[in-house]
């Protein structure tokens, strides 16, 4: 079962990974959390659906995403 880890302090909340990137559409920007740089980091809404395809990682400029399997 793959697992996505968002490095919340590295994420700049650009939202590239949240827009038509995830085939399962399980990434959103956190509405209620702000990191120390003032960004709303991305988060996974339903980890069980993740297939570990890595698309979110590939589009992430930082990279603030790690995927484990």
Work out how close the CB of 48 gets to another protein at its nearest, in angstroms, rounded to a whole number.
Answer: 15
Told to check if 2 binds another protein by CB under 8 A, we report: yes
Beta-carbon contacts of 42 under 8 Å, excluding residues fewer than 6 positions away, are 6, 11, 13, 15, 17, 18, 27, 28, 29, 30, 56, 64, 65
Told to check if 27 binds another protein by CB under 8 A, we report: no
Count of residues engaged in binding another protein, rule: CB under 8 A: 27
Told to check if 60 binds another protein by CB under 8 A, we report: yes
> Which H or E run includes 66?
strand 65-68
Residue identified by tokens 């992430």 is 60
Query: Which residues bind to another protein, rule: CB under 8 A?
Result: 2-3, 10, 12-16, 18-19, 21, 39, 52, 54-55, 57-63, 65-69
């Amino acid at each position: 079962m793959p697992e996505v880890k968002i490095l919340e302090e590295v994420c700049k909340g650009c939202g590239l990974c949240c827009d038509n990137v995830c085939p399962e559409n399980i990434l959103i920007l956190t509405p209620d959390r702000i990191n120390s740089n003032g960004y709303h980091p991305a988060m996974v809404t339903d980890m069980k659906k993740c297939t570990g395809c890595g698309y979110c990682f590939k589009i992430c400029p930082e990279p603030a995403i790690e995927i484990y399997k």
